[in-house]
Structures are given as C-alpha cells and as structure tokens.
Structure 1
Amino acid sequence: MTFEEIHALLSDKFGSKVIVDSQTSGLQPALFIHPDYIVPICEELRDNQLTWFDFLSCLTGVDHGPESNKFSVVYHLASIPHQHQLVLKVEIEHDRNLEVLPSFKSVSDVWKTAEWHEREAFDLVGIDFEGHPDQRRILLPDDWEGYPLRKDYQAAEEYKGIKIN
C-alpha cells in the first residue's frame, strides 16, 4: 500500500480527526496521529491484511526543546510480508515539570518489543507510557536524577563520588 492509501484507510475507519497532520517531505513520510488514537491505529495497522505492520522496528521519544514545550513519540513500522514501511508520530504539549512526566499510551500490547523501546524513552527522555507493564529505567541506574536526552538537562558533576565529564 502507498502512503496515501494508508492515510485514506485510517481516515475511512476512524474519521478525519484521528490524523492530525501528515509530513510528506524528507526520506520517510509520516502521519501525525491524535494521541488518544495511537493504540487502536496501531492495532488496525498490525491486524489489517492490507497493511499488516507486524514489526515495530523503532520507537523514539523526542524533546522538542524548552521553547516549544512539546514532546513526541515516533513509531517506525514495517510490514515484512508486504515489504512496506510507515512512520507514525504523536505529539503533546507539556510544561516540562519533572514531577508529572509527559504521558503517552503504551503500544506494548500491540508489539511486545515496545516494552523495551518505551523503557528507553522513559529512561532517557522522561516520557511516561500509560499502561506499560514494567516502566523503569533500562540503561541508567535506578537512582539517576533527570533525563539525559532532554534539551534542558543539566548533567551532575559527579555520581557516587565519580567525576562525570
């Protein structure tokens, strides 16, 4: 299926409000999905025999910086049988408060590999995934403070007596 056919399929099934925007410039076109619909959209793309996106190849958390107060999650999907790919993006505004993290719905029930990808986005960007079965740090120590891939992250000078460069 082409990008335009997938766009039409999702709009027909879920209505016009589900796709917030589309990005056709660049190497990979992307559909911007309304955050409330990411799980049903992913289920449809996985289960529909016309699309059959059986593989979540990458999930990435993105901090758009303090000036925009936006966070997003980017999903790179692939269909091994149909040999096509698709990028989905979900974006929200957040005030950067570390006490209440930006939150997106988990797709770990759709693709099990999302459990690892979402843990990494939580650990490094500070994104909460609602419904994740085991959301905890995956790369950094449990007592690490902050989220190193945030644009406003201030690295500590030392960790447990060890100087950090």
Structure 2
Amino acid sequence: MQAVLTLLLYLLVGCLGGLLAMTTGIPAAPLAGALLAAGLLSMSGRIELAQWPSGTRTLLEIGIGTVIGTGLTTAAVSELRQLWRPALLITLALVLTGLVVGLWCSRLLGIDPVVSLLGAAPGGISGMSLVGAEFGVGAAVAALHAVRLITVLLVLPLAVRLVVSLTQGRPPG
C-alpha cells in the first residue's frame, strides 16, 4: 500500500509541476514542469523512490509513440517531399555532432560513455530517457536532456526572434 501512495504522490507532484509550468508559456512546458517537479521530489530524499508496476514503461513508450505518431500527417509527409535534403543534412549533422560531443564528454570529463552518448544524442527527453533506461542510465540521461531542453526552450525562441528581426531589418521585440 505504501508503494501505491508513493507512486500517487509522484504522479500528483508531476501533474502539478506540469500544470504550473503551462502558465510560463515555455514550449513543452508540461513535460519540463512534470520532469522538474517529480525530479525534485525524488532528489529531496524525503520520500522513497517510486516503484512503477511491471509493464508501465512499455505502456508509456506506447503512449509516447502514439503522441508522436499522431503528428505525422499527410501534410507533414507532403512537406518532406520538398524538405528531404535539409532533413537528411540536419539529421546527419546532429547525429555526428552528438557522437563527437558524447565521446568528447566521456573522455574529457570522465563520464560513463553510455550516459554521455545518450545525453548528447539529438532525441527528445522522453525518448532518450526511455532508451537510457534500457541501458540502466535513464535518470542520468534524463537529467542531461532536461538541462538541454530547458536551456533550448528558454534561449532558442529569443534567438529566433532576434535573427528574424535582424534579417527583416526590424528591432527585436
């Protein structure tokens, strides 16, 4: 019974963190907020770690895959007819860069190569955390991706506005 209450507390804290983050207007705020809230609770040491029931990860992977899959529309496929070259170039550049940065971090900073390679991979936090969990390093990979995701979500919209305004000859704002 205690394990169920612990799990429910994590779910409640994650939901509250996600809902609170939604008020910030940051892209993917529910994901980042839930991750931060549940992570902070877990790191606090005030409550035991959540023990997820067997098969939960599989159900979550199916759910995440379904959410991502619903975004693949005929319009998206139609756009890929024109964008396949940049998609290929971007994918290759990100994968190669992720491999180089991951290996570099592993060697220079003494980080486990699995953690650094998956942490530097260009995938999303949920997908890469699930892959990391398969290797037994899901929490470390999630932490690296959380830092990356939150930084990108805060910095990139500002950078895009600045670049667009500069290329269109308007002051940023």
TM range (shorter): under 0.3
Larger proportion of helix: 2
TM-score, scaled to structure 2: 0.27
**Normalising to structure 1: TM-score of the pair?**
0.28
| Structure with greater strand share of residues | 1
